Every structure is written in C-alpha cells, then in structure tokens.
Structure 1
Amino acid sequence: EKFYGTDAYYPPTLAGLSEKLVIRGLEVRNLQIYPVSYNPGRRTLRIYKKLRIRLTFSGGGNFIPKRLRSPYFEPLFSNLVANYSSLGAPELKRSFTEFKGPIVMRTGGKARVEGADLLIIAPDDMVDSLLPLARWRLQTGLLTRIVPLSEIGSSPTADDIADFIQYAYDNWEVPPSFVLLVGDVDMVPVHYKNIHPYHNTRTGTDLYYATTDGSDYFPDIFVGRISVDDNAQLSTVIGKILKYDQDPERTTNWFNNVLLAAYEQEGRFFVTTSETVYVHLTGYGYNCDRQYANGNPPGSTIGVLNAINGGVVIANHRDHGGSANDGCGGSTGWVHPPFYNSHVGNLTNGDMLPFFFSINCESNWYDGETDNEDCNYESLGETLLRAPNGGALGLIGATRVSYSGYNDELDKGFFDAIFPDFDGTYPGAGSYNPLAGPLYHLGGILNYGKFWMYDKYVVPGGCPPYPWIPEPEVTLTEFDEFNYIGDPSEEIRMAYPESLIVNHPPTVPLGQSQIQVQVTDLLGSPLEGIRLAIGQGDTLYSVAHTDASGTAELLVNPSVPSEIWITAWDPHYLPYRGTIMPMSEGPYVTVLSRQIDDDSTGLSSGNGDGFPNPGETLELTITVKNWGSDTAFSVEGLLITEDSLAEIQESLQVFGNIAPGDSVQGAGSYVLSLSSLLQDGYYIPLTLRLTSSEGDTWLSDTWLMACAPLLLYDTSFVSDSDETIDPGDTAELYVTIVNDGHAPAENVEALLRSLNPKVIPIESLSTYGTVAPDSVAQGTPFVLFADTSIDFHTPVDFVLEISAGELSFQDTFSLMIGKGGDYLVYDPDPNHSSGPLIAALLDSLGYQGEYTTDLSVYFDELPYFNSIFVCAGIFNNNYTISADSPEAESLASYVLNHGGNLYLEGGDVWYWDPLNENGYNFNPIFGITATADGTSDLQKVAGMDGTFTEGDTFNYGGENDYNDHREPDTGSNSVVIFSNPLISYNVGIANVDTSESGLEYRT
C-alpha cells in the first residue's frame, strides 16, 4: 500500500548491470534494460521506444589473462558474450615442443610441470587402463596428463583434490580446460557443500572441482566423471569412447536422429520445451522421434527403446525422474514415458551410442555410496555408461530433486550451445575465427546450459511462460546438482562423418622445423577449423587449426628418427591418422641415455641412491647416439643449464668419432652441484650442445628430476579422556606427518602455530627423526591450552611448519575445540516447529550446544553431547526416522551406550511410523509400549503428580492434534510425565535411571 502511494518511477533507472561473475578469467555482467517504468503515485506509465546506452570499461583492453585463454572456451564465449570481438582474435597455433614430461604425473604436479588441457585424476590402479584414452586425447591435440590419486595425498578428500586443481589453474603454464575424474564416489569423492531446499540434506556435486576463479559458482573448467567400480568397467567405457571417435558405426545415418521424450502435464512445460527443440531441429533437417506420454504424439517405454536401438545422437527427456536412493526404494530413471535402469538391459544399440540430456529429478543420483542414506543404487547415467553392449557415452542429469522453469531453460541452453542460432537474438551468430561457433564437447554443453539458464531465467526474475519466480538457494542447487557422467572432452557427432583428405610431407629432418598441412573434404574443398596435432610418442609438439584455405603450419622437433604421428580431428569427420618419418642426411647426434653417480667417490657427493637429491654433487655420464647416415667426427658435448638451482662444474666431455647407428659414452663425467633447496619432483632442464670437427652442431635436451622429501600433515589425535580439548583444558596433541616425496627426510622437526589466540601451544616443538619416503611418523607431543572463554564446537586452524635440514614445508589442519556440548537439537521436522525454540531456551539459560537439521554432520560427536533433543514433527508434514538408517543407529547407540539423556518428540514416531512407514522402533529402549495411532483429540496437556511436571498445564496448539498413544512398559523404569486429561491417555513418558545417583530422567 505504501509503494502504491509513492511518487517515483520504478525501476528507478533505465539500465543496470548485474553482479560481477567470472568465467575463466573473463569478468562478465548481464546488461539489464528497462524501457518501461511506472510511477504508482501519479499512476503514470513511461514507455521508451528508443534508448542509447553507453558502456565504459575502466580496466583497459586486457579482458582475459593470456595464460587462461583456452581454445576450448572460445565457442562458449562467442555464443555467450555480446562483445566477444573485444577479446581479440585467439591464437590458432600452440607449440608444446618444450613440454617433454611423462603422460602420467608422478610428482604431484607442483614442481616444474607444464600443465594440461585435459587433466585426468584417477585411482592408482586404474592409471594403466586409462593410457589408451589419454594417448588418444593427446593425439587429437589436447595436452593430456594423468595424476594418480596418491600424488595428491593419501586418501585425498574432495577439498584436497579441489586444492590440487586450484593450484594447477593458478600456476601451470597451461591450466586445465577439462578435468576428468575416474572412479565412483567412494574412490574419488564428491563435494557436499550446500543444503538442498527440498531434501534438507547436502547435494552431491562435482561442481566445485571447476569453480577456480572468482567467488561465484560459475564453473571455470569443464568437469566430468567416468564413474566405474573397477578396471573391467573402465575398459568397457574406454572401448566405447575410442570406437565412437576412431571408427564410428556408419552402416546407417543414425547421426541425423534425435529422441525427444516428455510428459504432457497440466501446469508444466515439458512438452512445450520439447516442441521448441523439435521445431528447430527439424528445421535443421534432423529426424526427431517424439515420445510424449499422455501427449500428442503419444509415447511409451517401447517407443523409447525402439528409438535408442535404432540409433540416436541425443536422447532428450523433460519430465519427472527418480532414484531408488531417495527413500531406498522405487526405480531410477525417467517416470514418463517409463525408462529405468531395469530397461537398459533391453538396449541393443551396440556402437550407435547417444548422449543423454536427462533433465528431470534425481536420475543422475550417482553418489549413493556416500550420501548417508542406508542404501546404494547406481544412477541412470552410470548404468548407461557401463552397459557393455550399447547404452550411452554420457549423461547430463540431476543428483537430486530439480526444478521446472530452471530445467526448461537449461535444456534449451544445451541446444543453443550446439546450434548457436537456436535463439537468433542471442550472441553466437557470425563467428569471425575458426574457434568460434558451436560447442560439441559435453563439458562445454553442460556449462553453457547453466549460463544460459542463469541469463534467461534467473537474472530477469523468471520468464514466460513459467509462473515461478527463481530463488537464490534454488539457483545454487541447480548449478550444484546437474553434473555430467562421462568424459567432458568427448565431442558429439551431429552429422554423418565423412573422410578427410590431408596433405602433408612424408618426411621431416631431425631437429626443429615447420611443415604445412592442407585439409579438404572428399570433393577437394578446403575445410576451416580442423584441429591438427603432431607429436612423437607421448610428446605433443604442436596444435593448429586450419584457416579458410584449409591450411595450417605445425612445428615439429624430433630428436630421434622414430615415427611421428599426425592427426586431423573434427567431430563431423572421420579422424585422419598419419605418420611422418624423421630423416637425416649426414650425421645427427643426440642424447641416448644418462647415468647418475652420487656415491661420494671421485667428484660426487651424495647418498648413493642413484637419484638427484637436494645438496648433492652428481657425476653425470651421458651416452649419445648418431642417428644419421654419415660418421660424426671428433664429437664434443657442452652441458648447459639456465636453472639457478643447479651449477655445472665440469661441463665439457669428449665423445670422439661416432659411426652411423653407433652410440658412445663420454670419456668422463659431467659434474653438477644441486641446491639444497630443491623440492621433490622439480625438473632441472639440461641441454647438451654437441659439435663435430666438420662444423655440425646439435642441441639435445634432457633433464633431471629432483628426488626430495615432501613432508605434509597426515593425522592428529588428542591424548585426553574424551579425545578432545575442551575449554579450560591443557592436553597433549600428537601429530603424524607423511613423507609424500621420493627421498628420506632426516632430523625432522615441526613447529606448531595456532591461528586462534584462545588456543595456545605451550609446547610448540615436536621432533620426528628420520622419515622414509611413502611412510608416516608420529612426533613427540605438542601441548595445547584452550582458554575457558572459547566456545564449544569452535574449529581452530593450525599451521604446521616442518623442517628437515635446510628444507622447509608448511601445511595446515584444524581441530574442533570442545566436541559436543551441553546439548544438541536435531530438528528434521520440515516445519521446524519446536527445535529452534528449544535451542533458544537452552541458550538463554547459559547452556552451550548446537542446532542442526542434518545429524550426519555430528555422527562422530554424539557421545560428547550431554543431552540430545530430537524433533520429528507432526502429521502430515513430519519426518520419519527410517529403520536401519545411520541416524537411527546413532541415536539408539547414544541411548544405550552413552548415558541416554535423549528427548524424542513426534506425533507418529512411536506407533504409526514403525508399523507403517518403516520407521525405527524406539519404544524398547525408551521403556515404552505404543498402543494406538491416536485421533484428532489432543487439546490439553497436564503434568503428573510426583514428577518434575507436577502442576504444569498447557493448551495444545500444534499443527494438528493427532498424537500416538503410549504406555510405560511393565517392570521398566519408565513413568508418565504428561497426559491428556480430557481423554485420559498418555502424551509424555520418561525413562527414570535409578542405577547410580538416584532419580535422573534419562529419556
């Protein structure tokens, strides 16, 4: 009413900018224009037919850091950002001739590592199975590296893995564009950060492996997960990927077929969204099989199966979905038309493998192993991916309940990613470089869909035809819960793949040179934007995209005359895979091998393990080989390094005459002194400058990898009766460290610093002695004092400064001060009717405790709480504590093993839930017999004489007046403390514990 009397126009401005968001270094904002404004006081509407808006940029012309600019993000930016051309033209050629590291990173990636376009993180025992996929991705032009989990840490958490990815993003010369997680969630964990507004539990997500820039939840990397349980399943998935990429099924043109499945439901827009997609795809010439349950044309399970078995490139679904992980029952998959995990066995699509856009609720709930439910069922995405004789190559879907409106725009965004003119008013039409245009890799399609959804639905506060208004917590949930099961770098084929004609020289000289490559179609027409990659073994030399003439130049630098591979890749064509041979006329000499001597004899000084360790002096013997066709005469080799952490003391050696094909060891050894500050895994680059008496010069690169200790925090425990430090306590803290490096650490000490002034290390130094590689050590105890003023349940961060001789390391960890407390209020009641009031009252009385709606957070701490209050709520919006659930087991254990003091309230928790809803039966441990469900008859509650409630009388005013009836067990210590005086049945019962200190109400 006050607003409608205001003499002011709303909106108050004609234009505005949304909050700043960051996508891989690029700051973006949504420009909002308000051509219509209203003055309610004057009842006047203003409509502007034409507006001129000026945008100014205060940060200069560098819109995105050069290091972060990725060719794989160019299509996303070109389709999403209105002033994309302001970014300037991207580089079409990338050289990796200096990047000679192994394809499997064994150094944690935090030393001299060049980076990766595609970073694969996997359990150690799956690395070998991944090599065929990693090498294929490398040969298609993605600098690819595998990091075994053990290189990140022992049993790394989701935060540990995210920290590693963040380091790579911040420090690597080539920061990851794609991150592929391999393994189910019990191997590579998901994040649980945010409470889902419907489930009231935390949402499982891989999103936060990708949010590496800015403070928003917009992903800066394309992330996906090959969720498998073992190497057999992994080999199945990789076999499907390689078949699809290298030799797709081409007996029929199934690449022109799309499945659109939906459900016609009043008040929802499942079919409306699907029809929008249908109109556009048929306009592009695609055959769309519409399966609309309860709609026109009609749809069915048989129709869905027939469509997939006949071959489709995309299987799109808009409707409801479900997971057996939700409530531990039911089916997982699509509701209408029904297509569940149980139907996947009926698929016979073989190598005609689609990608699923499963835009519904829960069908991608892939974290059943760790979601704290008492059951574990595989998601639809996992089942399709692992299917051995068909199934799918990947699935985008939600891990929990998702939301209409959001989902409809998300789905449309996927298709605008693939077809940039899907929405002609959006950026993306009219690309001006070969990298701009459609997005075909699935990681990009997922991210783009989320950005589109945010722009189209969230920023304007909703959009037609949807009646709903977006809410911040739901927006966050949508970003969290939609994840991709599959390889995010996999590209979808949207056309029948024809062959490429690729012209390149059959040979190249040894050493660095450039070659020109031309690509045409079968008719000889030049093809623009084809990605060319060239390399040797596991080394990628360079990547380039063809220009409008179909040509590109590639840099090569072979040092040995082994086969060079060259690949031409585009998802709409068959890949070209060719070879080039390095040739040499005359002599050509390079490093063949090297041997390290650190045995402290001669000029060497070290521990004799044959590895470069910090502070050692090495004798380095080098063997060279003549790969050429003529003898190399009077060869000498000068060893050079520009690295300040290594000093070459003896740099020149004689190799003499070397016949063609022969190898010769130097007459003596090179001598290098290594800095004592070298870190584990640090690569020291070396160049051997070889010359002959005939005037030849050859530069041959090699390197040394430092083997040093890498000391990190591992675990800790408090030596106290309750294994925790309470306010006012002085206690010993034992900290275990791990040596994740490749060399022993001697004379190890650690200094402990507290980042909270209320927790003071009285003894701050611990000694560990010698710690061998891949081992842990427990030091002498630290002693901590916690001030009485610190609150219970306060996390305190510590810095552990570890030293070993001249080497120093630093790590952090946290301890909870005062585990437990006076009370814990667990309030799963959806209405939260009494839990907050109980907590507020206890706080006002000076008790210290916690309030939570998620008991799993406190499972380990329950024994440390003096009392627990559980509020399950009243029918018909109450909470059932399921039988055999972790929360039921934890609460029962608290009663039976930790002194009781558990208060439990709920209208149906005693009689109705155990009998009808698979609820846990708490009655025996409370000394209660439930006698009836109760009817609508609870109006008054009265205390009982002889108990602490004597004289209390309350009028009941809850959500409804249904309440289970109950009686004390005969012969138990239970007594009635509240009854309904009007109908005469019991409302509250306490279990009196008389075993120790007289009457003490226990439950």
Structure 2
Amino acid sequence: MNLLRWSLLLAISASPVLSAEQTAPMAVPGMHVFQSADRDWSMEILDQSPAGLTVEFRLNRLEIQQDGSRHLLFVDGLNTLSTPSLPELPSWSGVFAVPPRAGLGLNVLESDSRVIAGVVPRAAEDWQSDYPGSGLPERRENAQVYGGGHFPARVSSYGEPALWHGVRVVPLDITPFDWNAANDELTVYTRLLVRLDFQGHDTRNTREIDRPLSRLARDIVRPDLQNPAQLDADLRLDPLEQSSLGRYLVVIIDAGIPYLQPWVDWKRQMGYEVTVVAQSELGGTPTFATIKQRVMQEYTDNGLDYLLLVGDYDLTPQLYNLPSNTVQSGQHAEGTWGGDIVSDHEYTLLEGTDYFPEILVGRLSVDSHQQLSTLVTKLVAYEKTPPISQTDNWYRDALMIYDVALAGSRRETKLAVRDLLFADGFAHIDTVHNDYYNNNLSPSIVTNFVNQGVSFVNYRGYGHRYQWVGPEFGVTQIMNDLNNFNAWPVVTSIVCGGGDFGSNQFDPC
C-alpha cells in the first residue's frame, strides 16, 4: 500500500550539509532535465548493515507548468505534499524495517542542487470550503511561508516508529526542494544521500516481546517495505507457523460452539490452528479487559494472527453479546455509548503505543443461533465451493466508489487502491465518481454492479450506520434489491459511524 505517509512527521530530520556547486538560475516554465535517465526519479539503497542504511535519491526531471501567477510542479511517479495553504511540492515516501530495539537518527550526507529562478509554487487547496454554492475550493496561502519564508523546513524526515504485526517500521520522506519565497527561487536537489542510523537516540516503540514473527509479518508487511532484507534477517517463523497458515483465537458463548463448529473444522482442514475460548472460561460475563488479557496471553505465549469475536454488542444484551472498546466520534455519535462508537481495533494493539495492529480482528455480529448458523453456512460455502462459473471472472472484478464533497483526497485514495488491486491480479475495476451536492447518483448504480458480480467493493465518502450518503446505498437496498446469491463481495466502507455494530438505533448497521 502506499501507506507511504504517516500523518505525523516529527522534527527528527535532516537538511543538506554538503552541496555540489550550483549552476546558474534556469527559466520557467517547461520540462527541466537534470540528468539523462529512463525515469523522472530514482531511489536506491546503497548499503545496509546493523549500523544503518544509506539511501540515494536522484531527481532527473521536473516539469513546471504555469497556473495563473503561480506554478504547478510535477514529477511523474511522485506524490505531492498537499497540506492546505502550503506549497504543493513533489515528494517521495517509503516504509523501512528497522531493528527491533535500535535507536534511530537521520542525516543528509551529500547533496547536489540546481536553482530555478522565478518560481512560486501554488498552495494546496482547502477542501473544507466545498459546500453548496461556495464555488471551487479555495487556495489560501500561508502568510508566513509566502511572505518570505523557506519551505519545506527540511528535505528529509522520518515519522514515529511503529510496530506493525511485530515488525518495527519507520516512514521516511524525501522532498528534494527548498523554495525561498523572499526571492522566488527554487533550489532543486538533484541528488541526495540520506543516512538512517540504527545507533541514534530515538527508542520509541521498540519491540519487547522476544518471539518469532508471525506469517502476517511476511505476508502483509514485507511487500510494503523498501528494505525487505532487514525483515528477512529478523524473520524467524515459529516451527508451527512454518507448517500452518496461521493461528486463530475465537471467543464465543458456550451455547454457540456447536453452531460455529463447521467453520472451525473447515479452517483446521485448510491448515489453520484454531483455539476456541468459551465465555465461561473468561469468568462467565467477559469484559473488554478480560478478553484483551486473554488475547495478549495467547499472543505472548504462543503467537497469534487472527482474533474472531462471535456475537453482537448491544446496549440491551441479546443471547450473543461480546463487549468491544469505544472510541470518540464527536458529532457522529448517537449517544448509545456516551457519545462514542464501538471499535474492536483496540484488541489488535498488543505492542508499542502506535495504532498499527499486531493481529487481525473480525466479528460475526450475530444475535441468535439461527443467524450464526446461516452466516457459517455462507462463509464455508464461499471458501469451500466458490461459484466460479456463476459469473465469468467475477472474482477478479472490483468496484471503487467515492464522493468528492468536502475532501479532495478521496479520488486519489480510490485510484491508489485500484492500482493495488490491478497489481494483485484483478482484471476489471469500475470506478464510480459521485458529487453529493451537484450530481448525487442513484443507489441503483451500486446495486447493478454488485448484482453483475464483483468480489471487492471499496467506498469512501459520507455515510451513516445504515447507508452511504452519495450514492444513498444501504441496508434497504441490501435487503430488497440485491440478487447476487453466492457471489458475495468483500466491502470496505470508510464512513462516519459505518460498521457501528453497537448502534442502538440501527441494528443491523
């Protein structure tokens, strides 16, 4: 994933200390070629050892376009810094594995640069102005920066280290520019040599549990690393992990175990290790704390990949009821849980102080034996006897949906997800663009795509517990309009209050 941006980049960073002789100022706009190469930029790890790693970044070409009195800077293949009111500049980001307990530090060892005169980068848009009748999003300019300051403050930074499925990782950013607003000069760093030291003073989020990493470290984390060799050096799969697909911990009420058994048998047949913990083993009426304590014990003693919670979480408990954690939700809360909404993510945070998971968690949000039996039948059939011939290639088809109101990043997010799916073997991906205030689409467009057959649906926009807002597709359409029998898609619905299985007003959510 291009998680290549951590949201908080700290002031642990570096600026160039050695610079080759700069050339005379160049004119704009146009394509500026600094060195002949196949790509506009390159990043290479020159060396890596227990003491650290050295990265060489080269910027080969930069395109500058006139945008009124400002300039748009473009480098093919690079992301763009898009903080509202600050200059938009191309930037590279990558995620690196670092030793479990090392201190970290960063220095720029060498740099070559060119100066381009007469450049004023345009400011990033403020999408919060995108209300009905407000016109196009505004581009306010930060007075301190545009009034004569330098931007960015540093050409390379790294974010807070995190533990991700047991792997200690850190995001590294390189923004190879220094814009001087006082004289409208843009210094372009055509070459940067950046050193990430493993013998520094930053010891946040070190790994304290000394046990082999799980398969998730290899299967999920490794593909997103710039330096997978570092992970390979630390990757010691536990002997059982080498012969199984991973470990499940299942928490369920005692009376529900027989109804879940076909799923347990199937998972074991596939090659997973499955441990079932009955509610009575957790004191009869488990709390969030007692469940997490059991999860932590399993993770520490035996290793753990997956947690499955079987049961809903209601204000008025039903037969199946397993507690969850709550998180602040502000204006989007309904008041059921004191203004918060429920979230099982806290169960996955077992090492460090970051929000990256150590395990994967899921919940079968059922209230009765009948609901559980129906869901288990569907899950096992989906994996054991998939309807491959029902709809041609539907397993390799996907649907991206986004609404642009009030946020400019949703389009870019969907395009990034689409690229990841194509890279993973998907053959056909439809993308639905919705503008809630100006061209709100009918929910039938989603219904039609799903009924035709897709294996993955990814939505980002507005929403509630019971439906999306733009297009307004929700529980009503799912219950009444879908006929995609057996062709069940995986749906990721990133909205306010979405997936709130603890909702008292809307059950099911």
Question: Which interval holds the TM-score relative to the shorter structure?
Answer: 0.5 to 0.7
* Aligned-partner SS, 1:145: strand
Deviation track 1:854-901 (CA, whole Å, cap 9, x = no partner) reads xxxxxxxxxxxxxxxxxxxxxxxxxxxxxxxxxxxxxxxxxxxxxxxx
Runs of 5+ in structure 1 lacking a partner?
A: 100-115, 324-331, 370-374, 380-1003
Partner of residue 761, structure 1? none
1:135 to 265, 285, 291: 265
1:338 to 468, 472, 489: 472
Cα deviation, residue 135, structure 1: 2.0
**1:26–1:64 contact (8 Å) kept in structure 2:** no
1:85 to 229, 243, 249: 229
Partner of residue 73, structure 1? 217
**Structure with the greater alpha carbon radius of gyration:** 1
**1:36–1:48 contact (8 Å) kept in structure 2:** yes
Cα deviation, residue 249, structure 1: 0.7
Q: Please, what TM-score do these two structures have when normalized by structure 1? A: 0.31
Paired residue total = 347
* Aligned-partner SS, 1:55: strand
Superposed, 1:427-506 pairs within 5 Å as none
* Aligned-partner SS, 1:54: strand
Q: Distance in 2 between matches of 1:285 and 1:297?
A: 29
Partner of residue 94, structure 1? 239
**1:195–1:203 contact (8 Å) kept in structure 2:** yes
Partner of residue 458, structure 2? 316
Q: Please, what TM-score do these two structures have when normalized by structure 2? A: 0.59
**1:264–1:293 contact (8 Å) kept in structure 2:** yes
Partner of residue 176, structure 2? 35
* Aligned-partner SS, 1:37: strand
Cα deviation, residue 316, structure 1: 2.4
* Aligned-partner SS, 1:308: helix
**1:119–1:176 contact (8 Å) kept in structure 2:** yes
**2:341–2:500 contact (8 Å) kept in structure 1:** no
* Aligned-partner SS, 2:508: coil
1:347 to 460, 465, 482: 482
> Are residues 178 and 342 of structure 1, via their aligned partners in 2, closer, same or farther at CA, if it must alter by over 3 Å?
same
Superposed, 1:709-724 pairs within 5 Å as none
Q: Distance in 2 between matches of 1:307 and 1:120?
A: 34
Cα deviation, residue 86, structure 1: 1.2
AA aligned to 2:216 is Y
> Are residues 184 and 68 of structure 1, via their aligned partners in 2, closer, same or farther at CA, if it must alter by over 3 Å?
farther
Deviation track 1:591-612 (CA, whole Å, cap 9, x = no partner) reads xxxxxxxxxxxxxxxxxxxxxx
**1:301–1:339 contact (8 Å) kept in structure 2:** yes
Q: Distance in 1 between matches of 2:215 and 2:242?
A: 18
Whether 1:50 and 2:188 are equivalent positions in the alignment is no
**1:152–1:161 contact (8 Å) kept in structure 2:** yes
**1:117–1:176 contact (8 Å) kept in structure 2:** yes
Superposed, 1:964-1003 pairs within 5 Å as none
Q: Distance in 2 between matches of 1:225 and 1:57?
A: 39
**1:291–1:337 contact (8 Å) kept in structure 2:** no
**2:263–2:376 contact (8 Å) kept in structure 1:** yes
Partner of residue 189, structure 1? 323
Cα deviation, residue 12, structure 1: 5.3
1:178 to 283, 306, 310: 306
**1:196–1:203 contact (8 Å) kept in structure 2:** no
Partner of residue 166, structure 1? 296
Deviation track 1:135-160 (CA, whole Å, cap 9, x = no partner) reads 22122222110101221123121122
**2:214–2:241 contact (8 Å) kept in structure 1:** no
> Are residues 43 and 265 of structure 1, via their aligned partners in 2, closer, same or farther at CA, if it must alter by over 3 Å?
closer
* Aligned-partner SS, 1:312: coil
AA aligned to 1:189 is P
Q: Distance in 1 between matches of 2:194 and 2:299?
A: 36
**2:462–2:469 contact (8 Å) kept in structure 1:** yes
Q: Distance in 1 between matches of 2:287 and 2:256?
A: 18
Q: Distance in 2 between matches of 1:4 and 1:261?
A: 36
AA aligned to 1:344 is I
Q: Distance in 2 between matches of 1:267 and 1:97?
A: 44
AA aligned to 1:85 is A
Cα deviation, residue 190, structure 1: 1.4
Cα deviation, residue 6, structure 1: 12
Q: Distance in 1 between matches of 2:231 and 2:332?
A: 41
Whether 1:306 and 2:448 are equivalent positions in the alignment is yes
Q: RMSD of the TM alignment (CA)?
A: 3.9
Whether 1:151 and 2:313 are equivalent positions in the alignment is no
> Are residues 37 and 269 of structure 1, via their aligned partners in 2, closer, same or farther at CA, if it must alter by over 3 Å?
closer
1:126 to 214, 231, 256: 256
Return the structure number with greater helix share.
Answer: 2
**1:292–1:298 contact (8 Å) kept in structure 2:** no
Deviation track 1:932-975 (CA, whole Å, cap 9, x = no partner) reads xxxxxxxxxxxxxxxxxxxxxxxxxxxxxxxxxxxxxxxxxxxx
Runs of 5+ in structure 2 lacking a partner?
A: 1-141, 201-205, 315-320
Q: Distance in 1 between matches of 2:222 and 2:242?
A: 29
The higher relative CO (CA closer than 8 Å, separation ≥ 6) is in: 2
Partner of residue 360, structure 1? 495
Deviation track 1:199-237 (CA, whole Å, cap 9, x = no partner) reads 592231101101000122221111111100011111111
Partner of residue 258, structure 1? 398
Partner of residue 212, structure 1? 350
Partner of residue 670, structure 1? none
Cα deviation, residue 189, structure 1: 1.0
Q: Distance in 1 between matches of 2:418 and 2:166?
A: 36
Deviation track 1:887-941 (CA, whole Å, cap 9, x = no partner) reads xxxxxxxxxxxxxxxxxxxxxxxxxxxxxxxxxxxxxxxxxxxxxxxxxxxxxxx
**1:192–1:202 contact (8 Å) kept in structure 2:** yes
> Are residues 39 and 340 of structure 1, via their aligned partners in 2, closer, same or farther at CA, if it must alter by over 3 Å?
closer
Whether 1:201 and 2:331 are equivalent positions in the alignment is no
Partner of residue 368, structure 2? 230
Deviation track 1:279-306 (CA, whole Å, cap 9, x = no partner) reads 7767966233444456999953333222
Deviation track 1:221-270 (CA, whole Å, cap 9, x = no partner) reads 11111100011111111111111111111223221322333446586455
Q: Distance in 1 between matches of 2:380 and 2:193?
A: 53
> Are residues 161 and 281 of structure 1, via their aligned partners in 2, closer, same or farther at CA, if it must alter by over 3 Å?
closer
Partner of residue 58, structure 2? none
* Aligned-partner SS, 1:67: coil
Deviation track 1:462-499 (CA, whole Å, cap 9, x = no partner) reads xxxxxxxxxxxxxxxxxxxxxxxxxxxxxxxxxxxxxx
Cα deviation, residue 72, structure 1: 2.5
Cα deviation, residue 119, structure 1: 0.4
Cα deviation, residue 35, structure 1: 2.5
